[in-house]
Every structure is written in structure tokens, then in C-alpha cells.
Chains A and B, each alone.
Chain A
Amino acid sequence: MPSFTSSSEIPVTGRPLPECALGIAAIVALVVTLVATAAWELQWRNFGATPSYKNSDGLWAIERRRIDNGEGDKTVIIGSSRMFFDTQLSAWERVTGERPIQLSLEGTSPMKALQQLADDPDLTGTLVVGVTPILFFNGFAYRGDVFDHYLDEAPSQRIGQQVSMIFEPLLGFYQPDFALFTVLERQPWPTRDGVPVRKDVRKLANFDSDRNGRLWKKVETDPEYLALVKEIWSQNFRPLDKLPPPVLQQQTKNRAEQLELAVAAVEKLHARGVRVVFVRPPSEGPFAETEAVFQPRAEAWDQLIERTGAHGIHFADHPGLQGGWLPEWSHLAGDDADRYTTELAQLYHDLPPPP
């Protein structure tokens, strides 16, 4: 009878190997890879890409864990992309002496974060909540998965995030927008009858290791790229008379629900002594027009501040927060974001201390 240390029913065989000079093939492969990757990097550098940390779920989780690990007494920023790209952490730090924790998420209402932080006793400092009306009062969450990622992140994912962060500040092409199949899909292919064409949102910002986001220079300097970004935003704006009637009714219903959620969360935070400051960053053009129709200030922002009893800083109330250049109607150009943040941080700094 065979034993497991000798031969048996299935013969023990080594893997067959190619009878050729594999070492030379490996060298050729290495050279090809190096040359092709260098060319790919060069192509994206010429396009205007500069190395940036990825705005990944893992990076968000790292910043989120700072609250769990003893930094809960700091200022924490949540919000959508306007709060993310318009608030420059260095400018804020120059004014207040403190660099906030940035937890904003693009295309995502901060409601879920607000609720989670309201239930987190580790947060004891100040919560600054950005309000982009069409997102905030609808509860829309493009990055909704990030919360589960933070809660369930496996050890392997945490290590992977750290390893990735070694390469991210070195390579221009190592960003989701420049991934091979994303690039291929975005080529001007012929259209197929009956299949609507909708363009994805393109890269808008660069990020630092602590999630300080800043509008990508190309959006400001490349008219063709800026036109593309505006064209993509414009896909969302339809004339009111083309919208089905229930849309406005649904907006009103959503707003009422989100207001209730916000009131409940802020009540918990206030009860714990956490200061809450709502901020409405600037917008213009079709964004401002749409926001005014769907979430008018009197029924949305004003209600939010009144019912929560929190502090509120609306750009329209402060001349210092106005006048910045919003190349694509929604986010401030880098230099203007610095000026805006300096003013915002000063307003924040001058708020009355919590009772």
C-alpha cells in the first residue's frame, strides 16, 4: 500500500518546464515592461498628471481612525466635494493653529458620516459639516461603501493601503482616471443605436496623504478639459419643464426626511458638548440655479440652522467668501480656495465658544 511519503494513486510529478532560455525571456520581459511603463508615465505627465495620493476608501479609513486613536478632540470636516476641494487644510492651520481631519466625500451627502459621528463618543471636538444642497437634502451617497470599508477593513487591505501609498506620490499614471480600461472606454467610440451615451465625471482634484484635496491645475489651465468637465456636469441639468412633475415633490419629501435626521444627529452631538458648524460653500451657474429651484435657501439651509441650533456659515452672507473663481461652477480654483479657506477659518475661529 502506498503511503503519503511515497508513490500513490496520483503520481508525484514536477511541473513540466519549457526547454528554452527562460532567463533571457525574463530579461526581455523586464526591459519591455520598464520601457512601456516609462512611456505610459511620460504620456500622462504630458497630459498634465502629477503624482497624487488616491482618494481611496482605505485613505478615508486611515483619517477616520484618527478619531478613534485619540484625535477626537480636533476639528473634523465632513461634507461633499465642495468642502473637500475648497477647504485647504494648510490655510486653515495657518489661521487656527490646528490642521483638521478631512473626511468629506465627493458626490456624497455627509448625513451618514454625521450620524456615525453622532454615535461615536470618541468625537469630542468640533464637527464642520459642508452643505451642498442637492446632495445634503437628498441624502445621495456616491461613496456610500466607504463606511462599511472603514468598519470591515481586513488586515490585508490595511497593509495594501500602506504599500500603495509608497507608490502613489511617485507615479503620475497611478490614478483611477488613467487606468487602461478607463482610458479605453472614454475614447470617442461610435455610438450604438438605442444606447444612451453618458460621460463619467473626470478627475477634478489632487490629494495629499491627509486627504487635503485641491482642484487639479488642468481644470484651470486647459480650456478643452474644462469644457469637457462642464459638458459632463451639464448632463445633470435639464430644463424644469422637461422634468416629470413628481420630481419637485420628491425633493420636498427628501428634504423633510434629511432635516429630521440632521436634527436628531446634532442633538446627540450637542448633548455631548460637540460643537457643530454647518458651512455652505459657493456655487454658481447651472448648479446655483438648480439648487435655488430644488432646495431654496429659506426652506432648506435656513431651516437646517434654525432647527438644529447649530452655527451656520453661508457664503452668501460673507463677502470674504465670495468672488472666487469656480472654473466649472462648483469648486474653487486652487489659489482662490486658499483665500476662501483663510476667510472661512477666521469666521470659524471667531465663532462664540460652546456654552
Chain B
Amino acid sequence: MSWSPVLLFNSLTFVVFFAVVLALHHAPFSWTVRKLNLLVASYLFYAAWNPPFVILIWISTLVDWNVAKWLDVETRTGRRRLLLATSIAVNLGLLGYFKYGEFLLSNFQALAATVGIDYQPPEWNIILPVGISFYTFQTMAYSLNVYFRRAEASKSLLDFSLFVTFFPQLVAGPIVRPTHLLPQFAIPRVATRQQLTWGLALMTLGLFQKIVVADGLLAPVADKVFGAGEMLHPIDAWLGTLAFSGQIFSDFAGYSTTAIGIALCLGFGLPDNFRFPYAAIGFSDFWRRWHISLSTWLRDYLYIPLGGNRKGNLRTYINLMLTMLIGGLWHGASWTFVVWGGLHGIYLAAERWLRARLGHYSVWKTRSAQVLLALVTFFLVNLTWVYFRATDFDTAWRMTVTMLSFVTDGKKVLSFYLVLSVTVTMSTMLAVHWYMRNRRLDEVVARVPVWLAGLFWGGMLTAILMTQGGSDAFIYFQF
């Protein structure tokens, strides 16, 4: 499976693109024309990667638009189920073919081999369309909402098309609910000066996270450790995993923050996707802070329809595991992602079990216990990142053994500079997450002197320019 670069937020092309879009959005056109501008810009944004794949978005758009329209007027249960099945089949069919085709074939081949059949599948050379996991889930949410009578179908194809393809969040989320975004397209919106300025500040913060922290400070460490291909010294293994832990957060949260900033510059509000997850106390707390738009999607459209926690303890644990295993597989067509999801499922189930038995003790509410629980959570989350980052089980298992055995005869691969880079960065990141755990960024910014906020902002912008980053793709594009 190959993958080509999309129009990256961290590229000069995007700077030009965004300047033109912003100018057009603030030009004295009617609201319909401005929405059309945004729609065309969104298609161009996607086509800048690979023009023919815009057709997939059109398919997804037209299918769910029509399905929802029919669902709205159809009363017969059987027909309604059939319509919903059509939406799910088309969206999951696209996802299955492009994302999981090779995975399914190779597993079928392995299965056939176990019963003595030498099956040689044809060569699979299909490009994974970027963002397909995001926009298919977004459009499915629309049909599901109409099916469950949680909302009526949209009256405007233009608004719906823009909802599916709105470029700030098209390729890597947040996965926005129709109920959040569609109403915003109904009334004319142009950013106020305060929104525009805050949007630009958020864009700077997001790009700083991506270019400086993820790509500049942490990626070299993670790449070196996970690419070593041999048993490492436990310090190197741990630092590499910590580096990836910071990299994946800064990369993905950086994308989300930039997307939120871009939308705000245009006058639209997108929901938070991250809330300082490395300060989480426990795993249910972690999933309320990490990739919030996906975890709530899985909760609302998978976990709850499966029965959630309403059908007894055993079913609750099964539902939890199923949801997390599918959540793992959503990230990538590989068993390592399934293991990653499975580990989180086990963590959530164990937490639920322990909470029911030990949760009433007041000791858990003390400051020191909270810090300890946060550290344990972070430690266990790091163990799961090994399976997320490693491209095969050999590497993942080797890393896990090294990290837990503390056998020190493995190879050292990290230079003094790289050790310093990851320890300083991750210590700072954890301190910031802990400080911000129950705070909001806008509140903190409002409290500091304006000159200090400007100094931070300027510092981030300068670091971005000095880093000259701009060509490394966001990790979540491949999901």
C-alpha cells in the first residue's frame, strides 16, 4: 500500500491556499457564494493530493444525502433498516476496499496456508485515500442520526456537501457531528477580529506542536529507536517510546489545533479533540481527553448500540473490548493496531472492575494518590504505544521485553543530544499537561500579561521559521 502527500497545513502551498480562501470568505459575496467558495476550496484541498479520489468523497456525499432524505420520510422499519444498511455498506465498503483489502487478503492467504492451501493473491497496489476513515465516519454519523430520529435530514445539499468536505478537518478530523457543523452553515458567518486573531494564534500553536515538537524534537528519537532492529538498552527503549508518545500527541493534537484555528478564522467553531491527555487519571479519563471526536463516535454509534453498560457486567466488558478492538483496527490495517486497541480495552475493563471494588476509598482523592494514578496511567499508555508505533510484532515484542526486563546489555543508539532532547521535551510536556489538566487555554491566556502572551506567540512563530519544517506528513493522515 502506498501513500502520497496531501496539501499539508505545514506547507507553503497551504499558506497561499489559506490566504486566498480567507480573502474570498471575507469578500462581499452572498452567503451561498461564500459557501460555494469554501466547497470548491475544500475539493481543491483534497484534489491537491490526488484529484481522482475526490470522486470517493462525492460517492460518500451523494449516498448519505439520499439515504438520509429517504430515511426522513420512510416509516416502514424494514425499509429504514435497508436504507441504513446501504449507507453503512457503501461507506464501510469504500473503507474496506481501500484500507483493509490488502490486510484481508494476506490474512486469508495465511489462513489458507494453515489448511494446506497455497493461495497466491494478486498483487495489491491500491493507494490509501487520505482521510477516508474520517470522512466516512462523519457521513455515517449523519445517516445514523437520521435513522435513530435524533435529527432531521439536511435541507441543503450545498450545506451537506460542505459538512462532508470542510477542508480544515477533512483529512484528519476532528470527526465533526452533523448536529455541530450543519447549523453553522445555515447562517452567514465571518470571523470577528477577536476570533480571527485567536484563530491565528491557535494555528501557530498547532503548527509549533507539529513542526517543532513532533518533527523537530521527538521524531528523530522515535525513528532511531524503533528502526534499530535489534535489542536495545532499556534506557534507549524507554526514551524512544516516550518520544513517540510525545510525537503522536503533538502531531495529532497539532493537526486538530490548527484545524480548529483555521475554522475559527473563517468564523466556524470546531469541537476540542484533545484535553491534555497525559494528565489523565485512569483510562476512562484518558479517553475523555484523547481523540475525543473518535472516542465519542465509537461510544455513541458502537458501544451504546451494542448495549453499553445496560446489559449486565459481562456484556459491558465484552462491549468495551469490542469497541476498543474495532477502534484499534480503525487506526490501521494491522494486527499491531488491534493489540493496541485490545490493551486499552483490557485497561478500561480492569479499571471498571477495580473502581467497583476499591473506588469508594477516600485515599484516591488525595493529591499524592492522584499524581501516582496519573503516572501509572501514563506508564501503561506508553506500553500500548509500542504496538501502535512498531511495524511488526517482532519489534513490538522486543521493545516490550527490553522495557520491562531492564537487561542492560542491549545496544545504545541515542546520542547525548537525543537523550537530552527527549527528556527535556517530555518533562515539559507532562508538566504542562498536569498544570492544564482542569484549565482551558483561553482562560490561561486571558490571565497572563498581554506582552507575555505575545512573547510566547512570537517565540513559537520564530521557532517554526527557524526549524524550516514543512514536508513531514501528519501521522494520522495514514489512518
User: Chain A residues in contact with chain B, CB under 8 A?
Assistant: 1-10, 12-33, 36-37, 40, 152, 154-157, 159-160, 163-164, 167, 173-174, 176, 178-181, 184-185, 187, 189-195, 197
| Bound Cα distance A241, B392 (Å) | 39
Contacts A12-B183, A26-B200, A189-B417; A154 near B458 (Cβ below 8 A): no
Binds A, one of B85-93, B116-124, B148-156, B329-337: B148-156
Docked complex Cα distance between A38 and B128 (Å): 42
Asked if residues A20 and B454 are in contact (CB atoms below 8 Å), the reply is no
**CB of B466 closer than 8 Å to a CB of A:** yes
What per-residue 1/0 map shows which CB atoms of B218-249 lie under 8 Å from chain A? 00100000000000010000000000000000
Given A21-B450, A25-B457; A36-B462 close (CB under 8 Å): yes
* CB-contact partner of A195 in B12, B412, B443, B465, under 8 A: B412
The residue that B466 contacts in the complex, of A10, A40, A157, with Cβ under 8 A, is A40
Interface size class of B (residues with CB under 8 A): 35 or more
Interface string of B454-465 (1 = CB under 8 A from A): 110111011101
* Pair count A-B, CB < 8 A: 216
A154 touches B6 (CB 8 A): yes
**Closest 3 pairs (CB-CB, A-B):** A28-B454, A32-B458, A8-B179
The reply to whether the CB of B16 lies closer than 8 angstroms to some CB of chain A is yes
Docked complex: B383-431 residues within 8 A CB-CB of A: 411-421
A-B contact pairs, 26 of them (CB 8 A): A4-B153, A5-B186, A9-B145, A9-B177, A9-B179, A10-B271, A16-B442, A17-B194, A18-B443, A18-B445, A18-B446, A22-B197, A23-B193, A23-B197, A28-B457, A32-B459, A33-B465, A36-B462, A40-B465, A154-B6, A155-B47, A156-B8, A181-B217, A181-B220, A187-B417, A191-B415
Question: Any chain A CB within 8 A of the CB of B5?
Answer: yes
User: Given A15-B198, A20-B445, A184 and B417 touching (CB < 8 A)?
Assistant: yes
Cβ–Cβ contact B49 & A24, under 8 A: no
User: Which of B150, B416, B442 contacts A190, CB < 8 Å?
Assistant: B416
Asked whether, in the complex, the Cβ of B457 is within 8 Å of the Cβ of A164, the reply is no
Chain B, range 181-226, C-beta contacts under 8 Å to A: 182-184, 186, 193-195, 197-198, 200-201, 204, 212, 216-217, 220
Task: Report the separation of the CA atoms of residues A93 and B177 in the bound assembly, to the nearest whole angstrom.
Answer: 62
- Asked whether A15 and B458 contact (CB < 8 A) given A20-B450, A159-B16, the answer is no
- Is the pair A192, B13 in contact by a Cβ cutoff of 8 Å? no
Question: Which chain B residues numbered 149 to 169 have a C-beta less than 8 Å away from chain A?
Answer: 149-155, 159
Complex Cα–Cα for A92 and B198 (A):
55
Given contacts A27-B454, A31-B454, A155-B48, 15 further A-B contacts (CB under 8 A): A2-B179, A4-B183, A5-B155, A8-B179, A18-B198, A20-B453, A28-B455, A32-B458, A32-B462, A154-B7, A156-B8, A185-B418, A189-B420, A194-B233, A195-B413
By a CB distance below 8 angstroms, the chain A residues around B177 are 9-10
Q: Which residues of B contact A192 (CB under 8 A)?
A: 412, 414-416, 419
Residue of A15, A163, A178 touching B12 (CB-CB under 8 A)? A163
Query: What separation, in Å, do the CA atoms of A13 and B466 have in the docked complex?
Result: 36
A32 to B462, CA, bound (A): 8
Given contacts A8-B150, A195-B413, contact A33 B462 (CB under 8 A): yes
CA gap between A12 and B186 in the complex, in Å:
12
Q: Which residues of B338-362 are within 8 A (CB) of A?
A: none
B198, B264, B412, B454: most-surrounded residue (chain A CB, <10 A)? B454
Given contacts A20-B446, A156-B11, contact A12 B5 (CB under 8 A): no
| Shortest Cβ gap from B214 to chain A (Å) | 12
Chain A residues, Cβ within 8 Å of B442: 15-18
Q: Are A5 and B183 in contact (CB under 8 A)?
A: yes
* Smallest CB separation, B9 vs chain A (Å): 11
With A10-B179, A154-B4 already in contact, the answer to whether A2 and B152 are too (CB < 8 A) is yes
A181 / chain B contacts, CB cutoff of 8 Å: 216-217, 220, 467
Query: Would A29 and B458 count as touching, CB distance under 8 A?
Result: yes
Interface membership of B440, Cβ < 8 A = yes
A30 x B264 contact (CB < 8 A): no
The CA of A167 and the CA of B50, in the complex, are separated in Å by 26
Q: Is B260 an interface residue (CB 8 A)?
A: yes
A204 to B14, CA, bound (A): 31
Q: A15-B198, A26-B200, A195-B414 are in contact. Are A3 and B450 (CB under 8 A)?
A: no
A18 to B442, CA, bound (A): 4
Contacts of A176 in B (CB 8 A): 468
Find out whether the CB atom of B269 lies under 8 angstroms from the CB atom of A19. no
CA distance A189 to B417 in the complex (A): 6
With A25-B453, A155-B47, A189-B416: A2-B13 Cβ-Cβ less than 8 Å = no
Please name all residues of chain A whose beta carbon is closer than 8 Å to the beta carbon of B154 when the two chains form the complex. 4-5
What CA separation (Å) do A24 and B452 show in the bound complex?
11
